[in-house]
Structures are given as C-alpha cells and as structure tokens.
C-alpha cells in the first residue's frame, strides 16, 4: 500500500489535468543539446493522454529575471521537441499564467516559463490559485524542483481539487528509497565533487546506512588534509577539516570503510604526473585519483550489492585527468549491483564514458536528489503524501 496519492490510482477520464514537469533542458546556440528531462516526462504525459484527459503542462526554464519575459528562456523550443517525441501537436501558450488561467481547449498545451511570473519563487498564493483554476487534478511530476516551495510546485496544492504524484516522481521516490529500504549488501556510496560542505549532510546520513564510501574530487583532498597528508595547492576546504575527521571517526565506530586515495594525478607547471599521496609537494595540485587507487575502488565496486554514485572523482572534463572517473563509470557499468546515480556532473560523466542505460536508475534531480538522500522531507513530495 503506497503512502502517496498516485496518478495511476485516480480516475482522470475526461478530466482537466495540470502537470508540473521539470523541462529545464540545456541549450547551446539556441538548440537543445540534451533532451533527457523531456523524455523522462513522457510516460506521465502519455499515460494521462491514454486515459482521455486534457493536459496543461507547466515548467520553469533557466533563471530569467522574475516577472520579465526573455526569449532566451522561452519554452517554445521545448514544445517543439515534445511534439516531435509524442508525434502529435503540443500547443504552446505564450501568454503568462498570471494573465490567463489554463483553459484546456486542446489535448495537450505547454504553457510559458513559470519563472516569468511574479510570485513564482516566493510561493505566492494568488498566483498559485490562478494557475490551479479550471484543473480537476494537479500532478506533481517535477522531481528536480520538488525541493522548492514555489507556487507551481507547492502552494498550488492548496487550490487544486486533487494533488497526486506522476509516474516520474513516483519512480524517483521508489528507486532512491531502494538505497535505504532493505538494500542488497554491501552498500557502496561514491561521493565526489569539489566541496565537502555541499556533501556534508549526505555523508553524515550515508555513514549510518552504507558499508563503504568512496570519496573523490576536492572532497577527498579535505579528507587527506584531515588525515595529515600534504596536498600542495590542491582545491580544499581547510575550515572543514574537523568535520572530515569526525566522519572518519564515526566510520571507524560503525565499521564503514572510507578508503582514501593511495596515489593521485597531479598538475604542476602545466605538466601532469602520478604521485603517491604521501609525496605531494607544496607546488603540486591534485586533479584525479591514480591507477593504484582506481584498482582499489574497482574491487569495492565489483563486490557491492547496491551502488549510489554522486559526483566525479577528478577533473574529468580534461582528458589529462579523466581516467579516475572513467574507471569508476566503466566499473559501475560492469557491476552486478543495483546502480543508482544522480547529479548533473555525474550524468555528464556517465554520458561521456558509458551509456545512461548501463545503470539501473539515473535521477533527474540535482539538489532535490541530494536533499532526498539526506532524509529531508521535500515540499513537492510532501504535498502528495496521504493524510
């Protein structure tokens, strides 16, 4: 029995359905360069259409100045791409929803960027009421925005007759909860990125739930410094050293492995070279894990039953420092474990070195993914919970 109100359990035949999606896709030179978030929304849209519902879809796009139209952040391109994928016309409404409420004249209409609306980011009630007008059911399907208390993701639930979770949102919840609800052991978390401060809460949460944590990137540098290693000019958060020490101590108490890098790839005077972590000089900068460390990490990945990946272990955008993250990706591809990943840089690394399909689940959320892992109750998920 689900704890949530789900779209699939509601009779929507002939109803007006308002769906909040996250269609915030990357653009380059006026073209969509990755339509993964659009494709992730398709199952919910197709399901609602198959039940004979009329659809109004809303989404944010980029970070325009609130209350001002900016063609650069228009969803018109997304409407075209949606039409291509669905093989049917998606009508595009360019009149802002604070001027005009959804009318549900067509089978499917995409409305202009919610962030063009005054009051969207502050969760304004009058705006939410206007957006909800004429809808019979509000479907929250934008996991990537579920950590925001915006008018179109949270406040709107106060005015919609029925609020429920779409297929994408429910799939996110189901898959992420697999990490914590009776996961296949051993459970391995791979946490990379530049700053430990942005991952501190998730590390504190995971250390009580997993059997091992691989750390990489600038985060690993902070852990190395906290363990007495010299890290030269490497990216580090010196003020987080005490926190890193606390995590290492908790890991020891709970018998959680945190294998620190044994060797690294450094840069100095535009040269790159491999060094043991106990040999870094003051002029050198750590940019990636070394081959000995990769071998150790591969063993953890091979033996894992469940793997969570968030963040690269090096500056993978540069070919000189991509091998560590590439080895992680390729090892996860070959792993027998349940594999779940999330975060923009992680997805970029997966797309660079392997295929999205090589993992069991890729989250569409960035900040929302992290906050949900941390155990926070996200506003956009709270509104679909059964009372």
365 belongs to the catalytic site: no
Out of 62, 305, 366, 367, the active site residue is 367
**Which tokens is 93 given?**
């409404």
Contacts of 122 (CB under 8 A, 6+ apart): 151
Contact 205, 374 (CB under 8 A): yes
178 belongs to the catalytic site: no
Instruction: In whole angstroms, give the CA distance from residue 105 to residue 336.
Output: 49
For β-strands 31-32 and 27-28, DSSP reports them as: antiparallel
**What is the secondary structure of 210-230 as a DSSP string?**
-SEEEE-HHHHHHHHHHTT--
**What is the secondary structure of 283-340 as a DSSP string?**
T-EEEEE-HHHHHHHHHHHHH-SEEEEES-SS-TTSGGG-HHHHHHHHHHHH--SEEE
262 belongs to the catalytic site: no
Can you name the residues that pair with 308 across neighbouring β-strands? 189, 340
Q: Does a cis peptide bond (omega within 30 degrees of 0) precede residue 186?
A: yes
63 belongs to the catalytic site: no
Contact 275, 266 (CB under 8 A): yes
Out of 51, 344, 352, 366, the active site residue is 344
Helices (H) and strands (E) in the chain — how many of each?
Answer: 12, 16
Out of 37, 54, 148, 326, the active site residue is 37
The stretches of the chain forming alpha helices (DSSP H) are 36-50, 76-86, 125-132, 167-177, 200-206, 217-226, 241-253, 291-303, 323-334, 344-353, 367-373, 379-382
Out of 51, 80, 149, 195, the active site residue is 195
* Active site positions, annotated: 37, 195, 344, 367
């Amino acid at each position: 029995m689900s704890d949530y109100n789900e779209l699939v359990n509601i009779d929507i035949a002939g109803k007006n359905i308002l769906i909040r999606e996250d269609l915030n896709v990357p653009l380059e030179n006026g073209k969509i360069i990755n339509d993964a978030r659009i494709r992730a929304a398709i199952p919910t849209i197709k399901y609602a259409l198959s039940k004979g519902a009329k659809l109004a879809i809303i989404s944010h796009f980029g970070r325009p100045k609130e209350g001002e139209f900016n063609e650069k952040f228009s969803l018109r391109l997304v409407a075209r791409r949606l039409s291509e994928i669905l093989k049917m016309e998606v009508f595009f409404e360019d009149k802002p929803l604070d001027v005009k409420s959804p009318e549900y004249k067509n089978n499917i209409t995409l409305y202009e960027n919610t962030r063009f609306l005054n009051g969207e980011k502050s969760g304004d009630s009058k705006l939410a009421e206007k957006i909800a007008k004429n809808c019979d059911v509000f479907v929250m399907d934008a996991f990537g925005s579920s950590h925001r208390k915006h008018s179109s993701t949270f406040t709107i639930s106060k005015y919609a007759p029925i609020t429920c979770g779409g297929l994408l949102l429910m799939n996110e919840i189901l898959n992420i909860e697999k990490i914590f609800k009776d996961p296949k052991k051993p459970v391995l978390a791979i946490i990379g990125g530049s700053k430990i401060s942005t991952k501190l809460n998730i590390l504190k949460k995971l250390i009580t739930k997993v059997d091992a944590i691989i750390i990489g990137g600038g985060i690993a540098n902070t852990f190395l410094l906290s363990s007495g290693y010299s890290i030269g000019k490497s990216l580090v958060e010196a003020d987080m050293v005490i926190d890193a020490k606390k995590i290492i101590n908790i890991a020891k108490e709970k018998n959680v492995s945190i294998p620190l890098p044994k060797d690294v790839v450094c840069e100095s005077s535009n040269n790159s070279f491999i060094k043991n972590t106990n040999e870094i000089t003051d002029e050198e900068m750590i940019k990636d894990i070394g081959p000995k460390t990769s071998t150790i990490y591969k063993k953890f990945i091979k033996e894992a039953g469940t793997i969570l990946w968030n963040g690269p272990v090096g500056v993978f955008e540069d070919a000189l420092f991509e091998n560590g993250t590439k080895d992680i990706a390729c090892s996860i591809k070959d792993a027998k474990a349940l594999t779940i990943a999330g975060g923009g840089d992680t997805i970029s690394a997966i797309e660079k070195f392997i295929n999205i399909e090589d993992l069991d689940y890729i989250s569409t959320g960035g900040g929302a993914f992290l906050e949900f892992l941390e155990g926070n109750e996200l506003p956009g998920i709270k509104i679909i919970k059964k009372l």
